[in-house]
Chain A
């Protein structure tokens, strides 16, 4: 641990989907895998059984893809899996655009991938990566976001799609106008 740089290798491409952390060190607003789903922790509290019992941690998390709520309770000494949120192609968001999000909470501190939208086919998005490659394996999101993407695209606006990726799962979560 002498070399500071060693600490920051976690999260690089090729790392495992999750890594373990002692339950007591998890924080609200951090991430954890609950019932097999990558979640953002929205509530955390501790309790114990009997005055001389050991601390247990009660967690409520929201699935970062589906927005569903999950709960778990476990001894604070146990290790929990933390999802490795993979970063593929990061682009700084410049705060001046409105972000339409797919679920009822704001995405913060996620690692986003941003792609240019170049087509929509059979409910799948065609996205241009910085490398010049086109990927066509990402589903068109449902709900308001999907509609917005469609209408923006139909109107011929140049748009960027923000993609979130964790535990081998990906989803489009936001849309924004291309910087002119």
Chain B
């Protein structure tokens, strides 16, 4: 279109379009704006626009038009590369570079765009070897040596543009070429040109660092080159053999560790490089922007590893030099705020990069100085971080730096056997002390003190979404806990002493309050400041103690940390066991008042200190002082006890090489100590649940402690011997206060705990009695209620509904308690309820939250149990789910939802139904059932003839879900994801069922797939593409033509074909789309040929025609005729990649 018009007309057209685009919004209409945008778009797509663009660049005065011309050139060069003469490309590049050089006053964005075009040309040419890359470096180095800051800046821009283009990262322009192309370019570049850029940069930095004073302009140039150096050192070096993992290339452009190839050895192992960066930093460290770059360069150097080091001694020499440089840099300066993060990065990089053997090979004195420096730095950053918290700063630089250093300590001490024995003890003591000090109130600590010692104490509003400190600071606490173990001799007694002291003070304080209350009876006058300070001290002491004494690994049995075990063993000869047990067993007494308390085991004494805290709390609740207590402290206590119990309670001696006598005597299996503490913990739980029902989080932590006590059979065996446990079970079953006031999640978990406890060891009478106390009342109450004659009349009353809801919550809790050894009885118990629940669906169809809860029961049962169920049991579950779906569907017919401004939770039921279906399907993937192994003896497998299959239920469910899933609903991410997960599952698992779907349903399923493929996120698009192959294979299997599915797949062939060939494809999707395309091509070979023919016949240009024809030929060459054979498919996918690289860009031309 443009070619037909003369250049001046084009320019004036573009200039007026630019005017429209640049005009303030009020001055132009949307149509005008869109029209103007369209003009630029079609201009950029015009064929061979080079002459016009050159003309524009030379004559137009409108910056935006210049920018567009540069973009047009860049896009056209890539598009028409093959067709262009090599020397015309070269002259184009020279033209652009000269153009920029001659116009120092170009707008920055125009200049950068032109340089980008240059870089793209150089990159595209580097693979053809048609463009002489070297000449550009020669030109640039001349620019640099000019000494003119403007020209030097320009040179830097050229290099930066080249770097971005060749880095093949997200910064790289999208030029529609294969990943392989990008990879090859990058690899060639990094071996040679990149190093040249680095050398040029080093020269500039050297030059500048020698100068005494830098004026503003100079320092600006300096900064740009420093940033460039950082970019080079952050280069994500491609290994020589990348294989086919091109994707990795585009990831990880941040926090790349420096791993240069061998060819960089001479350059980067030269000490002068590192020295230069230290020198540079010293020079500019007060400029916070530049300092960030120079420190980042050093951090990159500290992360260097890989083949660049010929051997370990080279690594040692390099590291020694780095550490020396670092110490010289830090010692004797006062660290600026802006340096903290950078310095911690250097340290953290070097500790995580260099192997222990290299660290230990450092000269002793150097290593000691380094550790000493690290210790001081950590303590100092910790104090500054605390100050930042007091001042409530937005930018917590010291906190970030402190986190980094603590993490490094963790890395160091976790492998401390490599280091000289005990070398970390003193540092650990110092870091630990400073952490404790920062977290305790004055006078022992400095919490909430500003730099000049003024206390600041503000009560802020904390909402429920705010994380608890134990999670928020879990990384810090894990490191501090680890350091505490290293220096257990110091840290455990320290914590014990501090905690015992605070507990005594808390006790006294509460007593004073009580007397005060009795005197004045006005709680309003109570001064909380002293109490709150004590609570906060106790809070941190308990958190640190918890992290020190035990780990909380997910899914495995936590062991007593070896350091703690050794510490206890080491002192066991000085310990009097009886006194220790006495100390443990008397939490109501002051520890120091027990005679011989100094001859007790310190690990047990630390636990006792927490138990003493717990006892003070419990007694305060009994004295009606609950209002004065801190729910936060309550949470800390049960959190600690849970963590402790998981590790220490009924310690299994078989798991340890050596075991401490005091620990095994106090908490081992069959000990009085263990029984006593189980009883104590149970009492605590019961007390908390009745006192703290108004504090949901505390109640939750409490009930989790209860679950911990019963989830292990050995512990549960002791628990069920306690009378309290039975009382709790009875009380809960009677649904009376205070337990029924707990939140629904807590009640659910409590039910789970009660059920888990039921599988402990009991004689059969006791067991029967237990179930009669726990589960049967639930059933009985439920049946009594729903079978009442007037149930239909009373069912909507609040009290009745509450009873129903409580039952449903309990059922969810029971399902959650499923384990492989109890699934048989729980399944049978729950099955009895499920059918009644369906009846309730009818009754409560106008109460969405009740309906949701009913469906949730099914979701939970399916989720927790289906993988264990054998054929007969599964079928029962399928049947009942099917009935549920039928009722749900019937009730949905007349259901009116708020469609205006609907919120996601309005569709909770739909989400749950889809979850249920997905759970039912999951049996096809995860199946632990061994032909009713767990139900053996209960029944005979019925064998052949499934009445209802998973497929039936799921497809029936899809019948319901599909019509409800409107496009609007797909806008809700959770619904959309669950929906596509479900339909892809179905296509993959039951492709044979798809053709049997009713027509309407089939159509909407196909529509959903198309919609998902074309207009959803790439993740969903990928899911849909994955669903296509099984569908096509299904068609091939039946060999029936003209079925709806056959016709639909033909349509998908065209869609996928267009997607891959004509549209700018998303590289992530090539594999999924390619696989789908291949199976579809196999199925519809004739149609595929037709598609290709049509595409070719539209090409007027003979050269393009031939290229395309050749490309299509080679695409299918290795798989003719295409058959559904893995080998052929792989070959096809490989050719497809070449195909896309070859002609993908070409076909994008309008």
Contacts and interface: CB of A to CB of B under 8 A. Distances in A.
Interface of A: 1-2, 4-5, 7-11, 22-25, 27-31, 45-55, 75-77, 82, 85, 87, 90, 92-93, 95-99, 105-106, 108-111
Contact of A55 (B694, B784, B846): B694
A24 B693 contact: yes
A48 B847 contact: no
B798 A49 contact: no
B502 to A, nearest CB: 13
By Cβ-Cβ distance, the 7 closest A-B pairs, closest first, are: A52-B630, A50-B459, A95-B894, A76-B694, A109-B847, A24-B694, A1-B736
A48 B632 CA distance: 10
B357 interface: no
A46 B464 contact: yes
Interface in B602-650: 627, 630-633
B895 interface: yes
Nearest to A6: B799
Contacts of A85: 798
B734 interface: yes
Nearest to B797: A11
B1149 interface: no
Interface string B532-548: 10011001000000000
Contacts of B847: 108-109
A74 B788 CA distance: 38
A24 B896 contact: no
B461 A49 contact: yes
B462 A48 contact: yes
A93 B743 CA distance: 31
A52 B632 contact: yes
Given A24-B741, A85-B798, A109 B631 contact: no
A105 B631 contact: no
A92 B630 CA distance: 49
A31 B797 contact: no
Interface string B737-754: 000010110000000000
Nearest to B626: A77
Given A8-B799, A29-B849, A51-B535, 18 more contacts: A5-B784, A7-B735, A22-B693, A23-B694, A24-B693, A25-B693, A31-B798, A48-B631, A49-B460, A50-B459, A50-B460, A53-B631, A54-B694, A55-B694, A76-B695, A95-B891, A99-B896, A106-B896
A46 B743 CA distance: 13
Nearest to A97: B894
A52 B535 contact: yes
12 contacts: A2-B734, A4-B781, A7-B799, A8-B785, A10-B797, A10-B798, A49-B461, A50-B460, A54-B631, A54-B695, A93-B846, A108-B848
A50 B533 CA distance: 11
Given A51-B462, A51-B536, A106-B896, A111 B796 contact: yes
A1 B459 contact: no
Given A49-B461, A54-B631, A105-B898, A4 B696 contact: no
A4 B632 CA distance: 36
A87 B846 CA distance: 16
Nearest to A1: B736
B459 A49 contact: yes
Nearest to B900: A104
B526 to A, nearest CB: 13
Contact of A109 (B695, B743, B801): B801
A10 B850 CA distance: 20
Contacts of A92: 792
A47 B898 CA distance: 30
Main secondary structure, interface of A, reads loop
B800 interface: yes
Contacts of B741: 22, 24-25
Nearest to B843: A92
Interface string B807-838: 00000000000000000000000000000000
B532 A50 contact: yes
A141 to B, nearest CB: 19
A30 B539 CA distance: 36
B459 A111 contact: no
Nearest to A111: B796
Contacts of A55: 631, 694-696
Contact of B464 (A10, A24, A45, A53): A45
A65 B631 CA distance: 38
Contacts of B799: 7-11
A90 B793 contact: yes
B796 A109 contact: yes
B45 interface: no
Contacts of A1: 734-736
B109 to A, nearest CB: 47
A52 B632 CA distance: 5
A10 B796 CA distance: 12
B391 interface: no
Given A11-B798, A52-B630, A108-B848, A22 B694 contact: yes
Contact of A51 (B464, B632, B797, B845): B632
Contacts of B536: 51-52
B938 interface: no
Residue from B469, B846, B847 having most chain A Cβ neighbours under 10 A:
B846
A45 B632 CA distance: 18
Nearest to B738: A22
Interface centre among A23, A47, A48, A98 (most CB of B within 10 A): A48
A99 B744 CA distance: 32
B803 interface: yes
Nearest to A51: B632
Nearest to B906: A106
Contacts of A31: 798
Contacts of A108: 846-848
Contacts of B696: 24, 46, 55
Nearest to A55: B695
Contact of A53 (B459, B539, B894): B459
A8 to B, nearest CB: 5
A90 B849 contact: no
A85 to B, nearest CB: 7
Given A55-B695, A109-B796, A4 B784 contact: yes
B1007 interface: no
Interface string B975-1004: 000000000000000000000000000000
Contacts of A105: 898
A42 B616 CA distance: 39
B794 interface: yes
Interface in B381-430: none
A148 to B, nearest CB: 16
Contacts of A87: 796-797
Nearest to A25: B741
- Interface hub of B797, B800, B849 (most chain A Cβ within 10 A): B797
Nearest to A45: B464
A76 B894 CA distance: 39
B463 interface: yes
B437 to A, nearest CB: 19
Nearest to A90: B793
Contacts of A23: 694
B448 to A, nearest CB: 12
A170 to B, nearest CB: 17
Interface string B519-537: 0000000000001100110
A45 B463 contact: yes
B532 A111 contact: no
Contacts of B845: 95
B529 to A, nearest CB: 10
A54 B634 CA distance: 11
Contact of B803 (A8, A52, A98, A110): A8
Contacts of A93: 846
Interface string B451-487: 0000000011111100001000000000000000000
A109 B744 CA distance: 19
Contacts of B796: 87, 90, 109-111
A109 B846 contact: yes
Contacts of A54: 627, 631, 694-695
